[in-house]
Amino acid sequence: MTTLDCPLQSRCPGCPLGSRPYDEGLQLKGHVVGGALAAYPELAASVAPPRPAAPLHAYRVRAKLVSKGTALGLFERGSHRVLDVAGCRVLSANVAAAADAIRRLLPLPIYGADIRETSQGVLLTLLTEEAGAGTVLEQAAKSLVASGHVLGVALSHRRRGDVRLLAGAPEVVVGPSEARHALSAEAPYGYAAHGGFVQAHSGQASHVYTEIARGLRERLGAITKPRVLELFAGNGSLALALAAQGAQVTAVESFAPAIGLAERAAREQGLRLSAVTSDATRFVADLAPGAFDAIVVNPPRRGLDVALREALGRAAPRAFSYVSCNPHTLARDASHLARLGLQVSRAEPLDMIPWSDAVEVLCWFELAPAPPPRILFEDEAFVAVEKPPYESVASLVRRLPGLVGTRALDAWGPDVSGVCWLAKGEQVASPGERELTLACRGNLRKQGTVTRRASATGSRYRKQRELGRHSVVSVFVADGDESEVRRDFATIRHPILGSQRDGDAETNAFFQHRHGLDRAFLHVTRSQLRVAPGTVLEARSELSPDLGRVLASVDSD
C-alpha cells in the first residue's frame, strides 16, 4: 500500500492527503469531481475513474517556497511560521537540489523563491521586498549559477502588503531569460520563462495533451488539418503539440511574453502556429459559428467568465475540450454551456498533484439542444419555473416546450436565479410577497428594514448567517422589484456581493477569484402570486448550486 511516508506530514500543508493510502486519496478526488457535476441536474456527463499519477514521488517540476531566516519551505499548518521542507518527498531531484543550494546561502533578503525545472536546467526567481537588496542578491545569483544546480536567476520585487507570492515581473540578473522545455523526448519543445506556469506533473500533462489530440481526431473524423483554437495558451505547450500533429492552431494568450515564446518555438521547429496576444473573451466575442473546427480552453481556477461562455455557445465548435483545475467552477460553467447548446459528455479526473487535494479534469462537450427549464408549479393558468443564472427571462420562456403564448410576470435580470412566474395567455395576476436570499458586503444586524421612501415598506430582512466578514440574509418584499432591492442595500453601504451594477469592485474581485462568484449573490427562494381575491399561489426554489458552492468555499477557508 503506497503512502507518502513524510516526517513533516503533520505540520506541512503541501500534501494534505499524504497520511492516507494513495488509492484512497485518488478515489476521494474522483468523488469531488462527480459531486461537483452532480450538483447540477442538467449535467449528465460520464465521469471516468480518476487517472492515477506515476511517479508519486520526486515529480514536482516547479515549487514556490517561502523563506525566513535560514528556513525555506511552506507556512506551517495554521500559522505563518515557515517550515523548512528540506528533503521534501515530492520535489523533483533538480528542483530539490536548487532549493538546497539556496539554503546554503541563507539568510538572504528574500521572502521566497520560485523554482522551475526545464529540459536545459533550473530557472530560479528570488522574491524580495527589500528595495536595496539588489547587490546582495546579484552576488547570491552568481553563486547559485556557479554551483551547477541553477541555469539562470531572476529577481522579483513586490511592494510590502501585497499578498501575492510572485507579484513583480522577474528581472533576469544571471543566465538566460528562458530555456527550452519538452514534456517528453517525442514532444516538441516550448520555451519556459522565469515565473512561468507549468503543470506540476510532466507525465500527467503529457497524458492530457495526448488525449486531447486523440479526442480531436475521433470527433473531427476525416478533417486532416483541423482548425483549432486554444484559449489561455500560456507558452503554447499544447498548441505546439497539436501543431506537430498537423493541426492549424491559433493560440491566444493575454500575457505577451509567454505567447511570444510560443511563436518563437513554432518558428524554430517549422510548425504552423498563429500566436495572438489577446484577452480570450475579446478574441471570441465576434467569432462566427464554425470559424474553428475545435476549441480548447484551459482557464485559471476562477473558470470562464460569463461573456466568454456565451461566445463559445455562439461559436458552436464541432469539438470542444475544457481542461480545469477547479471542478466546481468547471461544473458552474458546464451548466451554463448546456443551456447554450454545449453539453458535457465526458469528464476524466486526473491526479496532477499527488498527495494534494487538488484535482485536474479533462472534459469533452458536444453540440446538443438546450434542456428545458425545471417547472416548480403549474396549473391551467400559471406556471412557475426555476430560472437559472446567466439567462434572461425572455430566453427562459423560449426554452419552455409546448407553452405557446406564455408571458413572463417577473422581470428578473440575467444574474438572478430562483422562482420566476409566467402566465398562460392573457391571465392576470399581481405579485405577492417574495423572499430573496442574498449575500451582502459587511456584517448586518440580525434583522431590520431598509426604507426607500417615507411611504414605502422597503426591504425587510432577517440575517441567516455570517459569511466570513459578510452577511447572508433573507429579504422579504411586497412592493419592490429587483432594482430597488439592489439599491436599498447599496444605499446602506452593504451592496450585494457579486453585483456589477452597484457592488464593491474590490470585494467582488476577491469573491470571484477566491470563491468562484461571477454574478450577483441573489436568489428568489419563495414567491407568491395573487391570482384572485383571497387566492394566492406559491412556489419555492432551493439555493442555486453555484451560490451554495460559494458558501461552502468560504466555510472551507
Q: What is the CATH number of the domain that holds 539?
A: 3.30.2350.10
**Last residue of some domain: 312, 339, 367?**
367
**Last residue of some domain: 348, 367, 386?**
367
Per-residue pLDDT of the chain (557 residues), as tens digits, is 588 999 999 999 999 999 999 999 999 999 999 999 999 999 988 899 999 999 999 999 999 999 999 999 999 998 989 999 999 999 999 999 999 999 999 999 999 999 999 999 999 999 999 988 989 999 999 999 999 999 999 999 998 877 678 877 899 999 999 999 999 888 999 999 998 888 999 999 999 999 999 999 999 988 889 999 999 999 999 999 999 999 999 999 998 888 999 999 999 999 999 999 999 999 999 899 989 999 999 999 999 999 999 999 999 999 999 999 999 999 999 999 999 999 999 999 999 999 999 999 999 999 999 999 999 999 999 999 999 999 999 999 888 877 667 889 999 999 999 999 999 888 888 889 999 999 999 999 999 988 765 545 678 999 999 999 999 999 999 876 888 899 899 999 999 999 998 889 999 999 999 999 999 999 999 999 999 888 999 999 999 999 999 999 999 87
In this structure, how many other beta carbons lie within 10 angstroms of the beta carbon of residue 302? 17
Residue 191, Cα to own-chain centre: how many angstroms? 25
Residue 160, Cα to own-chain centre: how many angstroms? 27
Domain of 354, CATH number, reads: 3.40.50.150
- Cα(115)–Cα(323) distance, rounded to whole angstroms? 24
Please count the residues of the chain: 557
C-alpha cell at 100: 538546497
Whether residues 319 and 207 share a domain: the answer is yes
Whether residues 507 and 425 share a domain: the answer is yes
Whether residues 431 and 456 share a domain: the answer is yes
Domain of 98, CATH number, reads: 2.40.50.1070
Whether residues 143 and 214 share a domain: the answer is no
Whether residues 420 and 460 share a domain: the answer is yes
* Number of domains the chain is built from: 3
Whether residues 340 and 205 share a domain: the answer is yes
CA distances (Å), 152 to each of 90, 173, 277, in order? 23, 8, 26
**Last residue of some domain: 320, 344, 367?**
367
Whether residues 421 and 495 share a domain: the answer is yes
- Cα(151)–Cα(178) distance, rounded to whole angstroms? 10
> Is residue 255 assigned to a domain?
yes
> Is residue 14 assigned to a domain?
no
**Domain extent for 164:** 62-177
Spell out the alpha helix ranges (H) of 188-326.
202-220, 237-244, 256-269, 280-284, 306-315
- Cα(10)–Cα(1) distance, rounded to whole angstroms? 20
Would the CA dihedral through 351, 357, 360, 363 be positive or negative? positive
In this structure, how many other beta carbons lie within 10 angstroms of the beta carbon of residue 7? 9
> Is residue 7 assigned to a domain?
no
Whether residues 148 and 208 share a domain: the answer is no
Whether residues 209 and 274 share a domain: the answer is yes
> Is residue 517 assigned to a domain?
yes
Whether residues 404 and 551 share a domain: the answer is yes
Which value, to the nearest 10 degrees, does the dihedral of the CA atoms of residues 243, 249, 253, 257 take? 50
Residue 224, class by beta-carbon neighbours within 10 Å (0-12 exposed, 13-18 middle, 19+ buried)?
exposed
Would the CA dihedral through 400, 406, 407, 409 be positive or negative? negative
Provide the pLDDT for residue 456: 57
C-alpha cell at 91: 520535489
Please state the pTM of the whole predicted model. 0.93
> Is residue 16 assigned to a domain?
no
Whether residues 102 and 162 share a domain: the answer is yes
- Phi, psi values for residue 254, rounded to 5°: -80, -25
Provide the pLDDT for residue 78: 85
> Is residue 118 assigned to a domain?
yes
Whether residues 398 and 277 share a domain: the answer is no
